[in-house]
Every structure is written in structure tokens, then in C-alpha cells.
Chains A and B, each alone.
Chain A
């Protein structure tokens, strides 16, 4: 097994990509656990190349207008402003 130790800066980078804040304690804990877990994932190197089955088919339906949630239903779980979703600043 290779040495895939993960340092906290790397975990911080992935957490930024995934848009999840972590506190310092979580960061330390995850760095420690990720090395061990990724080591286990590396055993997948031993898997031979396998011919994948190619008999998958797309299932399509006609592109028709159907009933959907109305505005009130769509907004019922959200903070809204005059019938719109209210989100944070974009920049």
C-alpha cells in the first residue's frame, strides 16, 4: 500500500471545492481518517481492466408540457421575496 497521507491543507482545499466549512477539530480528524480510507481505496489498483457491458439504452419521453408545482408550492420551504427565492449575494 502506498503512503497517501493527507495533510489538513489538502482537506481544506477539497472542503472549499465542495463548499463545506469545517472547524479546526474536524479538519484535523478528517486529515487523519482520509489517509487511512484513501489507502483502502487504493487497493482498487489491483482490479483488472474489465470489458463493460455496452447494452445500455437511453429511455426518452416526448418533451411535453406537464403539470408542475405551482409558485406557492415551490416557495413553501424557502425564504422568499415577492414570489422569488431569496438567495445570498452572488459576488
Chain B
């Protein structure tokens, strides 16, 4: 059956040799591929063909991967269900008739359905972890700056990172190892070998992410922020504690921790993300790319008409709310307060991680929704991102691993959050479960 996981199926062959030789890696359709249509799930870019490859695509191809196509996504990465794509919704192979999560739902569905060995998604407020949780796969949101965003069609630059989706933690770690690293075309990237790596026999530090997937959690201390369990679906909470029991049985221990800032994080996230979106999406004016219909009127009128035609409703909603939050008289009320909340969230994470190796929570507070169920109520949809968005505000790494299934057979994800450049810690902890 077709899950509508791909927007464009076109094979891009990589080098013959390399760590990903023989592997297919599906790529989310907001990551540029030279000569291959890249739509962002939007009618605005339906015909857009990038003249260059994103940095991560160059690295995939050098590593020998084959790209089998470009995957479906919420338009411009804005959504939690992969239902806002201009190319139709994606179905969930792990729970048919339900959403695969968003916004990298096509990437997760491609992996869950076996239509690709691995995939790349992007995570601005949970868009890799959410679909991983909903489809029973593994997704990693890297520390901000670990992976180059060159060639990623931006939505909210200060929050987003490209991350891997895979059937297992080890495979996700292998893919992360290929895409991570300094890139002089993205000045926010860092060479994190010093922080992350361990010394190989010849003295060179390596990321060695895949080596960290050894399942050894003996002595691991887990902090569990109580705020991230409040209000979660009972079935999800039950499955979450079963997974924590499993980690405990293998030598880990846990304590609960209060992080007051987290109860304001999701609102802060949306103010910041929408503000950045309103600025980023100003470039879609129908002049250099996009639809070029003939409208009567001046530049402003034509610009507005092109955007009415090219953007879907969720994208318009966020551009308008972002414009509102940044406009005169409201900037201090919304945007400045959101930046305060962001700093508070960072401090809370620093403090919680000084007493724990990793923090754990359910990835999503609910199991996958039925398709069409949540489209009409944007606020409820936004609040579903309560557990994933704090990590992006704090620029920390996090992984979602399958925690098990609810009694009615729906996938539940467990999120593990680490300190900045603590990818190895979350990979090691996650590999005890998947």
C-alpha cells in the first residue's frame, strides 16, 4: 500500500564506497538536492529545482548512500501530523489510518514501511522526534551547531537542526556521524570533536557515535521532569514507566526533577518560531522562484496574491501570528517575554543536567492521532509539542526511541535529552531500548 511518504521519487546515486554504501537514505523535501525538485511540501515551490546540494546531501553522497527520493512533510515544516502538505497527507505504516507525526512524517513513514533504509528529517520543535515516536522508529535531534544547515530551506533558523531517522539507535548514530561536522558555509556549525569524541588509537578524536550504541546503562542517572508527564495520556505514561523500569533493570537509576520553566516553553517556542517564520518566508514573493501568475496591480498587491495562492493555511496562520508578535506595540509583550522564557528554559536544563546524565520523558504526550482529527484546532495541535519544543529552545540534543506500545497497539516514544554535545550519552542510553 502507498503511504504517500514521497513527494518525488528520483534516485540520486552516491559514491561507490563509503560507510553508507549499499544503503538508501530518503531526504526530507526541505533539504536541497541539485537538479531534483525540492518543494518543502508547498505549492509555492512545486516546480522549484535547486541549483546546488545541501551540505548534508554532499556528505551522504560522499559516504556512498543512494537517495531514493524526497519525502513528504508538513508545508515548510509547520505541523505535527504531516497533513498540511500541498501533496496530500502521509499515512502511518505503524498504525494505519493515523498520522505519522510531523513535520518529517514522510521520512519516518519511509523508514517504518521499509521504503528506505534510513532517512533525514529536520527538527525545529520536535519534527524528527515526533514522527519517530509515532511510527516506532528512532530519531535524533542533534545539538544546535553539530550539523550544517547549508541548503536547508529555513523556517526558524535559531531552532532547527537536520537529524537522522532509522530503525535502530545504532543506525541513526551511523547516519549522524556522516552528516555531523564543521561547514564553513554555515557559521553556526561547531567542530565538536573535543566535546564529543573519544581518542582513537592514533590519537585523533572521533565522534564515534555508533560505538556509543553499546546498550550499557549500568550506573546511568536519569532525571525525569515531572512537568513533562503532567497532562499526558494515561496509556502513554504507563508505557513510559515500563521503559524506565526496563532501564532500571539494566542498572540505571532515576529521580524526579521539577523544572518550572517547562510549563511556559511551548508558548515561547511558538512565538519565536512564528516570528522567525514571518521573516524567513518573506523571500517567497514569486520573483526569483515560485508561481509567476499575471496579476493586475503593483508590487505589493502582486506579492500578496502570489502568497495567497502559494501558501497553505497553516503557513499563513504562522506568518500572520509572527508578524503580529513582532509588530510595534506587541514586540515587548510577546517576543521579548518569549526570549526570557527561552533563557529560563536553558538555565533549568543546565541545572537538571548537573544532577543527571540524561533527562527522560515521553516524546509525545499522546499516541498518534487519527487522520483529520486535529486539523481544525491549531492551539490543541501546538500544545501537543510541549515535550519536544523545550529541547530546541535550549539547543540541546535529544533522541526518541520506541518505548513500546499502548495496550491498543499504538507506538509510544521515549525521549532522552542530553547536555550540549552529549550525543554519545543519549545514544548509549537509547540503545538499551532499541
Chain A residues engaging chain B, CB cutoff 8 angstroms: 11, 14-23, 26, 30, 33-34, 36-38, 40-53, 59-61, 69, 73-74, 76-79, 85-91
Measured between beta carbons, the chain A residues less than 8 angstroms from B268 are 44, 47
Contact A40 B379, beta carbon cutoff 8 Å: yes
A34-B324 contact, Cβ under 8 Å, with A87-B287, A90-B299: yes
Instruction: Mark B residues whose CB is within 8 Å of A.
Output: 47-49, 51-52, 184, 187-188, 261, 264, 267-268, 270-271, 278, 282, 285, 287-290, 292, 295, 297-305, 307-308, 311, 313, 316-317, 319-321, 323-325, 327, 333-334, 337-341, 343-344, 346-347, 378-379, 382-383
Report yes or no: A20 in contact with B319, Cβ–Cβ below 8 A.
yes
Q: How far is the CA of A73 from the CA of B188 in the complex (A)?
A: 26
In angstroms, Cα B282 to Cα A88, docked, is 16
A sample of 10 cross-chain residue pairs with beta-carbon separation below 8 angstroms, ordered by A number, consists of A21-B307, A33-B317, A38-B334, A44-B267, A44-B271, A47-B341, A50-B340, A50-B343, A77-B290, A88-B287
Contact flag A44-B51 (CB < 8 Å), given A19-B304, A20-B308: no
Within 8 Å by CB of A76, from B51, B271, B295, B338, lies B51
B231 CB → nearest A CB, Å: 14
For the complex formed, measure the closest distance between the CB of A44 and the CB atoms of chain B, giving whole angstroms: 4
> When A and B form their complex, which 8 residue pairs have the shortest distance between CB atoms, in order from nearest?
A21-B308, A77-B289, A88-B302, A44-B337, A73-B51, A18-B323, A50-B343, A59-B187
Does the CB pair A77–B47 fall under 8 Å? yes
A14-B323 in contact given A47-B340, A87-B299 (Cβ < 8 Å) = yes
The listed residue (A21, A48, A53, A69) touching B304 by CB distance below 8 A is A21
Known contacts being A77-B289, A78-B287, is A33 close to B379, with CB within 8 Å? Answer: yes
Residues of B contacting A76 in the complex (Cβ-Cβ under 8 angstroms): 49, 51
User: What is the CA–CA distance of A77 and B51 in the complex, to the nearest angstrom?
Assistant: 9
Q: Which of B298, B334, B339 contacts A88 (CB 8 A)?
A: B298
Which among B292, B313, B346, B383 is the interface contact of A79 at CB below 8 angstroms?
B292
Interchain CA distance A20-B318 in the complex, whole Å: 11
Q: Considering only CB atoms, which chain A residue lies closest to B300 in the complex?
A: A19
Flag if A26 contacts B316 (CB, 8 Å). Answer: yes
Cβ of A44: which chain B residues have Cβ within 8 Å of it?
264, 267-268, 271, 334, 337-338, 340-341
